[in-house]
Structure 1
Amino acid sequence: MSCDLTDPAILEAYQAIITGTPTNWLILGYHDTRDKISLYSKGTGGLEELTSNLKEEVLYGFVRIEDRFALLAYVSEQVSGLRRARALVHGKAVGALFKGSNVQINTSSLTDLTEERVRARLGLIEGPPSPAPSSPVMPSSPAAPTSPVSAPASRPATPVSPGPVAAPISISTATTASEVSSPVRTGSPLPGVSTPRTERQLEIEAAERKVREEMERQKRAEIAKRQKETQEREAREQELFAQKQAQELERKRKEESDRIAREAMKKQLMEQERLRGSGLSGYITIQRAGSPFWRRRFYVMSGQILSFYRDENDRAPVSDMKLGGQVVHIQDASLDVLIPNSFRVDLITGETHYFFSDSTKDKELAIAGFMKCNESA
């Protein structure tokens, strides 16, 4: 039945109470969990404000009254037996964390948490009430001296008899009581005697050290966690950067390889046309700018003109495309139209035409022919 008390707000509120700040009470609870205890609330209104914030569940409170501290374990009568047993175990764990407490009060009734009863448990209320004053002495009895015990402490009674013994006894008794009680109430130690206040102070200092050590441990753990997350993030970023660099280098290498191959093919085509007097020809499928349809055509490239025929036996072309100085860009379009061996041709007019060939070789020949026609004088 171990419990989780790692909520940093608990130690912060506890340290604020034991170090004398205006905060003088706190309440811990489960927030609908089974074993995780966290800070519910805290305040500066003392025991009265603490009890006004209690609810019908298992709660733990810690309060400062004057220079003493009380740990409260409040278990509502509506709580089941199993939760009561678990609260008993968890209360010990809370008590081990709040070592500065002078007393632990376990209760299921708010009547046990009145100011008078808690002060009595903390030893802040002195012994039994003062007895009722004795009957007044009649003036006709000159022989009866005034008793020093029955005289109020605030104003000593004037003795009836002027005898020399009564007054010294009254003064001596009052002085002795003052001397004995004064060190205990004010916390001034008698010579050679360790007072309860000194022991409590040592306990508070030890608790403060534990709180500081725990907060420092949590701080170091948080710093280490952030450093680890930063290192992992930087490693991922470096890996992604390296992948992007490799992809970019591969893309540039392929583009350069394709460019060299096309240049060589273009020169070859130009040489063939010079020697034979005829341009490049073959079958290709075209989707003109603004049209949703693909049409298969037989094309012939000659000079700066690209002519399209329905088939290779047609005498008259269906349409022509003048390419000289009109082509702005030619690039692969396999990802755009999801068709193998496809490419796009962007013209200076802003139009874009898509083409695809029957094979990779036919595609490269067609692209080289476009480049040749575009550059032909």
Structure 2
Amino acid sequence: MSVSLVDPNIRHAHNDQIDQGNGSWIELGYPQDSKDQLILIGKGANGLEGLSDNLPEDQVVFAILLENSSLVQLLWCPDAISGVKKARAMVHARAVASQFDISSTISASTKQDLSVSQLTAQSKVEKKEDSEKHTNGALPSAEESATTVQNLDDDDDSDDDTDSIVNGYQDVNEPDQQEQQRQLEIAKQKALQEEEQRVEIERKRRLEHEQRLLQEAEQKRRLEAEQQKRRELEEKRRKEIEERRKAEQEAKLRLEMEEKRRREAEEKRKQDIIRQKSLEQDRLNKLISSGQVAINGKLSALTKSGTWRRRYFELSSKALAIYKEDLSSKTPIEAIPLSKTTQIVDSYDELLIKHSIRLTSQSDELFIYLDNQEAKSKLMSALQSAIKN
């Protein structure tokens, strides 16, 4: 299980870490599409506290912390990570430790497992074991001497692939071989269970596929039946629409005929009114020409004192005579002579009274108003006819 550390961002981040000094850290992790390659996923400062705040709950992380001028590796494997992934991460942690000259490695699955005292204690134990190792054997070589922090840009590029790094590296700071073997056995059992689950899932998938084919056939038959029924309904609906269209067209024709008859009747009524008015006007003209009273009725007249009084009037060819309303006297209260010099004006703008008229002769002026527009129009027409005659 080799791992690739060729991401150039790792080297640059590590160099920045060395420059920043104690408390700085970087994080390596697997990209989404790979399980044998590590890339830079984070970096920061503030020591273990800052690192702890940046650890995800569902992802393996290889964190490298610079503490007391030594590099400490934290293998972060949350409880949600499977046994196979944990076993692979342990092997890859050895390659990371070899590449970065790690002084000690600790594993953690929860943030409660992390503390500065744990890092310090682990570092002291591993340094003691390393010292005993060199005491019982030959003096350590330059590569096995006390770990020092170095800049990756100062190292020569290695041509050995990651497999040789993982297989050849002996890290006394990793869990003992028995623990690794136990983890591998657990991983194998997990893999076996996953394979059995895969076979069972495949069997269920095949059964589901067969069931789906049967359902699709049944659905196709049902759809064909529904389509046939839909065609029949559409044909029925088409016929109903056609019948309704014909009925609407007939109703429209009837309405048009009724509207035509109504317009003709209205036109006839208007012509009758015009003819009736013409006849009435002719009658008035004859009465006025003969000197007889053409029309009479009641109106309101403005007196000399400035008050309005209800009066009775008679219109002849010579004058508009105003009497008391009750006709208690046969003598007119006032009479406006009618001649071609007499002016008849709508006085609404002057008096602000509806249906009002002002009559002005050479010697007199009279303001009157009628009860409605029809009476006003009739009187004005008669006055104008009298003036013309």
Q: What is the TM-score with the length of structure 2 in the denominator?
A: 0.33
- Which structure has the greater CA radius of gyration? 2
Q: What is the TM-score with the length of structure 1 in the denominator?
A: 0.34
- Which has the larger helix fraction? 2
